[in-house]
Amino acid sequence: MNLLSPPAGTASLFVRRDLPAVRALTTEAVLFAAGRCVRRGPVEEVLPAEWGPHGSSPAR
C-alpha cells in the first residue's frame, strides 16, 4: 500500500467506497452525499471507525 502513497506535501484524488482502504491511505478526506460536500477534515473525523467497511448515513 505504501507504493500508492504520494510524497509528503502532495495532493491526490482517491475515490473509493472501501472505507478501510480510505482510512489506511489518506490523512484528510471529503465526504459527498447527493453530490454535495457534507464533511471535510481529518479522515478519522470524516469517516469514524464505528461506521465499519461500508459506511453509514452522513446526515448527523
Q: Give tens-digit pLDDT for 10-54.
A: 777 778 888 888 888 888 889 888 999 999 999 999 988 777 766
Q: How far apart are the first and last CA of the chain?
A: 32
Q: Evaluate whether residue 43 is within a structural domain.
A: yes
Domain hosting residue 30, numbered range:
15-49
pTM equals 0.62
Q: Evaluate whether residue 34 is within a structural domain.
A: yes
Q: Under DSSP, is residue 9 helix (H, G, I), strand (E, B) or coil? A: coil
| CA–CA gap between residue 2 and residue 59 (Å, rounded) | 32
Q: Please tell me the predicted confidence (pLDDT) of residue 40.
A: 94
Where residue 60 falls among pLDDT bands split at 50, 70, 90? very low
Q: Evaluate whether residue 5 is within a structural domain.
A: no
Q: Evaluate whether residue 4 is within a structural domain.
A: no
Q: Evaluate whether residue 1 is within a structural domain.
A: no
Please state, in angstroms and as integers, the Cα–Cα distance from residue 8 to each residue in 3, 26, 33, 48, 60, following that order.
Answer: 13, 11, 28, 23, 32
Look at the chain and report how many structural domains it folds into. Answer: 1
